[in-house]
Amino acid sequence: MSETFDLILSGGHVFTPAGIQTTNIAIKDGKIAGLGDFDTSQAKRTILCAGLTILPGLIDTQVHFREPGATHKETLATGMKSAALGGITAVFEMPNTNPLTLTPDAIADKMTRAAKEPWVDYAFYLGGCKENAQHLAAYENTPGICGIKVFMGASTGDLLAASDEEIEAVLSNGKRIVAIHAEDEFIMQENKKTILGDSHDVAMHNIWRSPESCLNATKRVVAIAQKYNRRIHILHITTLEEMAFLRQHKDIATVEVLANHLTLHAPECYETLGSLAQQNPPIREKHHQDALWQAIADGTVDMVASDHAPHTLEEKGKPYPLSPSGTPGVQTLLPIMLNHVNQGKLSLERLVELMHTNPIRIHGINNRGPIATGNNADFTVVDMNKTDIISSAVQATKSEWTPFDGMQTKGWPVMTMIRGHVVMYEGELSKEPAGQPVLFNETVTPAN
């Protein structure tokens, strides 16, 4: 008898739009051929998934992979390896590389580099600033672009659009979603002189990079977005005050929070981790973290990401504030968030919304959808009962560390599948990568 299917995932708890069902998934030609009581003899291969939960392929919508320009910290290949090992099926990579990603040529260069060893699907942000603002409408639909990124406050790299005039220039050109790093450069420059001064204390990081600087930047960019009726996505919100404000502005702005900000808090994180906890915007006190969880619970937050931002331990060891900001995280994002699910901080349904459904809807992703017949066989398979210890030793990132080293968590990814290809199984990568560019509705020509 000839087999009808390439693969059957048998007996998993399958996360479908109608709820979790314990069933088999049949896969053919990279797509879901059906869900149901298929006999395993109908397929060339079967993977037993009893006791495992099969989620639609999860996406990390904010990573920094450092290629080109700082490949001693990360390459596209090592970053994507980390993603696959962490149960992530697609990544959106940031433009503060060197050179900055400001033109269609720079996007095409990243696409070519990524295609050489694509462990997961990939897309890239185009940086927006005064140098390229007038070209953005022409540039923004270059294949591979997931959106435009604006840094209102200086962070790693030279990308900056600090003034209202610069932000207006970006938001008034084009239609795609604009992701915003909202820290007010002018307030921070002043605070650096008056508050940080000559201090080398990393625990000052969240004080001079103040809640006021975040709130002011967020208010300014929301006002400009309203003026131009342009959708914005405000990245890594860290403050109670911004959440209260953004709750009233969901019509124009979507909202991201990071796993780090949901998990670590000041001042303890600086006492235990020093500059390994240094990132922008900073990790803040517990009452801010509580407000982020409240915003997860009440629907204000649309996405959770890692903001994977690797630096070497040697770089991180420089005296503050010379130590660079950012932590690796693409491989630990899902274990950390599944641990929060197991601790009752959010439901698995909400996590799938934050890392799958909302990214697809908000970015207009074309080739992804829920677990249903006809959709791509992209899955993040997790064992909700597995307990393990997060370890720097198994991080595939070139930076070779994680701020969560030694933390015991419950709920782990055990398989990453992309279009029917097993790219990670029980912590091992497959021989062949299977990633492709993520497609977006704006840039896909409808089939005739």
Closest approach of Cβ 179 to ligand DOR, in Å?
A: 11
209 touching ligand DOR, by CB under 6 A: no
Residue among 57 and 328 whose Cβ is closer to ligand DOR: 328
By the 8 A CB rule, do 441 and 366 touch? Answer: yes
DSSP 266: B
How many Å apart are CA 326 and CA 309, to the nearest integer?
Answer: 5
Stated length of the chain: 448
Widest pairwise Cα distance in the chain: 78
326 touching ligand DOR, by CB under 6 A: yes
By the 8 A CB rule, do 331 and 83 touch? Answer: yes
309 touching ligand DOR, by CB under 6 A: yes
325 touching ligand DOR, by CB under 6 A: yes
Task: Using CB under 6 A, pick the residue from 75, 280, 332, 380 that binds ligand DOR.
Answer: 280
402 touching ligand DOR, by CB under 6 A: no
Residue identified by tokens 């209102």 is 152
Note if 307 is an active site residue: yes
- Token pair listed for 223: 């006002």
Cα 441 to chain centroid distance, Å, stands at: 20
Residue among 280 and 358 whose Cβ is closer to ligand DOR: 280
Closest approach of Cβ 38 to ligand DOR, in Å?
A: 45
Encoded one letter per residue, x for contact with ligand DOR by CB under 6 A and - for no contact, window 84-123 reads ------------x---------------------------
Q: How many beta carbons lie within 10 A of that of residue 372, not counting itself?
A: 13
How many Å apart are CA 18 and CA 262, to the nearest integer?
Answer: 29
Task: Using CB under 6 A, pick the residue from 6, 9, 52, 64 that binds ligand DOR.
Answer: 64
Task: Using CB under 6 A, pick the residue from 13, 81, 110, 181 that binds ligand DOR.
Answer: 181
By the 8 A CB rule, do 57 and 356 touch? Answer: yes
Closest approach of Cβ 62 to ligand DOR, in Å?
A: 9
Encoded one letter per residue, x for contact with ligand DOR by CB under 6 A and - for no contact, window 117-156 reads --------------------------------------xx
Specify whether the backbone of 135 is left (phi greater than 0), alpha (psi in -120 to 50) or beta: alpha
Q: Coil, helix or strand for 30? A: coil
- Token pair listed for 73: 């910290």
In 173-239, where does DSSP find H-type helix?
Answer: 185-191, 205-208, 211-228
Closest approach of Cβ 280 to ligand DOR, in Å?
A: 4
In Å, how far are 65, 374, 378 from 160, measured between CA atoms? 19, 42, 36
Residue among 216 and 327 whose Cβ is closer to ligand DOR: 327
How many Å apart are CA 289 and CA 291, to the nearest integer?
Answer: 5
Residue among 107 and 360 whose Cβ is closer to ligand DOR: 107
In the set 302, 307, 378, 383, the catalytic residue is 307
Closest approach of Cβ 99 to ligand DOR, in Å?
A: 15
Closest approach of Cβ 169 to ligand DOR, in Å?
A: 21
Any idea which residues carry the catalytic annotation? 307
Residues near ligand DOR (CB under 6 A) are 64, 96, 155-156, 181, 279-280, 309, 325-326
